[in-house]
A and B are shown apart, each in its own frame.
Chain A
Amino acid sequence: MVALESPMPGRIIRINVKVGDSVNENDVIAVMEAMKMEMDLLAPASGIIKELNMSENQAITKSGVVLAVIE
């Protein structure tokens, strides 16, 4: 089990996966916007998306928030 954590506070503008999808390490799982920049949130490991704790347009207020869990 590996968690994708928010790197910094920001807004989720796009989610490319759903629970049950299989991903490879470094796939772009979602895109966050912070400080006027879009940043790709990459899969920290290969596996299946077990949990997804974010939705499009959601504001993430802290860094270190678990956004997805890959198993």
Chain B
Amino acid sequence: MTGMNKIFEEYEKRRKKIVEMGGSKAVEKQKSRGKMTARERIEYFFDSDTFMERWPFMKHRTTAFSLDKRDIPAEGVVTGYGKVDGRYIAVAAEDYTSLAGTFGEGHGKKFSWALDFAKENRMPFVGMNDSGGARLQEGMDTLEAYGWCFRSQILASGIIPQIALLMGPCLGGQAYHPIMQDFLIQCKNTGFMGIAGPAFVKTQVGEEISLEELSGYRAHAVKSGQTHVVVENDEEALDRARELLSFFPSNNGQKPPRIKTEDNPERVVLDLESLVPVDPHKAYDMHEIIAKIIDDGYFFETLGLYARNIITGFARFNGRPAGIVANQPSWLAGCIDIDAADKAARFIRFCDLFNIPLISLQDCPGYRIGSEADWNGMLRHGAKLLYAWADATVPLISILMRKSYAGAHYGMLDKSIGADFVFAWPNARVTIVGASTAASVIFAKEIRDAQNPEEIKAKRVKEYEELYENPYRGAERGYIDDIILPRETRKYINRALDLLADKEVTRPWRKYSNINL
């Protein structure tokens, strides 16, 4: 027995060392930066007593630079599985207190294996990034290990949802890890991400810029469109990640979890009729419309600070998760520009991958035009939206609230591109182009030759407007399933979702579509 006790004692000692991470001093430093430790994050994140760690004893094998003399508990990343709302989630939480959570062979192996296991066993993966970057001492071993991680996550993409929590630095090639996940949540004061940090930028390209400005939340939530959600601190990041997961199935073979709601699915929303101005030139805040029609006004917006002319996010209808894509008339006229097309297309594809129905709320003057837009590739970026809708096989419901012109008619989902249901409000203007443009093309000669060109133009505009700028022509052809009162919108969406609950689409095999990336 004493022999066994000794063995156990040694085991306990070793495990204790791992659990203590980088030691009390390093842990204190971590906390003084307002951050939780990797293990605290895991404990906070998962349902109580559900976490099972894996590979805690992993150790690198480099002897260079006396690295073998250094203790790096758990190789600077805690990996394993735990439950969120009763469902298993795989996690890799980087531990900055252990050699700055640097990424080497063992660290990368753990990431990659955690991802592979999550894929094979069909559970979401959550990465908690907090790392000083590449462990340079390991040279080639570090270089190769990044590739394992990237390949694993890419091969898991579309099979399991993946969420990145940027809670500390993640600079250099390593930043491809969070960016290639489905959603990225960034902590305001502690999360930094970029292809290179300020020191490298200064020596290589001579640019002097602070870490906050180069890699902070403004850089990615506002400018680059890579951070979906900004949070104040670690707790909020973990809370938001749990919330986000509640909209998703565990994998692409399941439907998203439906919850019970007290919100009447047929609730009449009278306010809608005063919130949207009749004058098509006047703007309003689409968020107000969204809040009125979804369950309990609860909307989880993604990329809310980027390409604000289009709104994307998750909500529930009669307890069913759904993705919302909506124009925002109060930002850049609500037009679809390059950034808006990118933002919405990736969102649509995520929803389609994970069986989440999509609702489009249309009030869009069109794709953005002009040399700026065209020379930057408006067409190829705009095409992403068309691909995303046409390729999607989930329930697709489109509400034409006001303007639905030209390319935006398809870009925001119409019948021809694949909508299952299209409902228009009576004030909708659904046609190939706005009346004034149409009239000035069709009647160009008549207007030019007229004694009173302005008068003739106004007359012709009115004529075109009365003939085509309404929902009736589309409804007559069957392209609009019905014209409904704005107040009935929630009811119609819920009935359509009921009807489409078992929608199935079978298409000829192909590797994938050649979307304009």
Binding site for B on A (CB under 8 A): 7-9, 33-40, 62-63
Contact = CB atoms under 8 A, between A and B. Distances in A.
B372 interface: yes
Main secondary structure of the interface of B (DSSP, over half): loop
B357 interface: no
A36 B333 contact: yes
Contacts of B331: 39
A11 to B, nearest CB: 12
Interface range for B: 20 to 34
A64 to B, nearest CB: 9
Given A35-B369, A36-B280, A37-B281, 12 more contacts: A7-B332, A8-B337, A9-B370, A35-B333, A35-B365, A35-B368, A36-B365, A36-B403, A37-B280, A39-B332, A39-B333, A40-B283
A33 B279 CA distance: 14
Contacts of B329: 37
B161 interface: no
B224 interface: no
A3 B280 CA distance: 29
Interface in B322-341: 329-335, 337
Interface of B: 280-283, 329-335, 337, 365-366, 368-370, 372, 403, 434
A38 B372 contact: no
A62 B368 CA distance: 13
21 contacts: A7-B332, A8-B332, A9-B372, A33-B281, A34-B333, A35-B332, A35-B335, A35-B365, A35-B369, A36-B333, A36-B434, A37-B280, A37-B281, A37-B365, A38-B282, A39-B330, A39-B331, A39-B332, A39-B333, A40-B330, A63-B372
Contacts of A35: 332-333, 335, 365-366, 368-369
A31 to B, nearest CB: 10
A37 B334 contact: yes
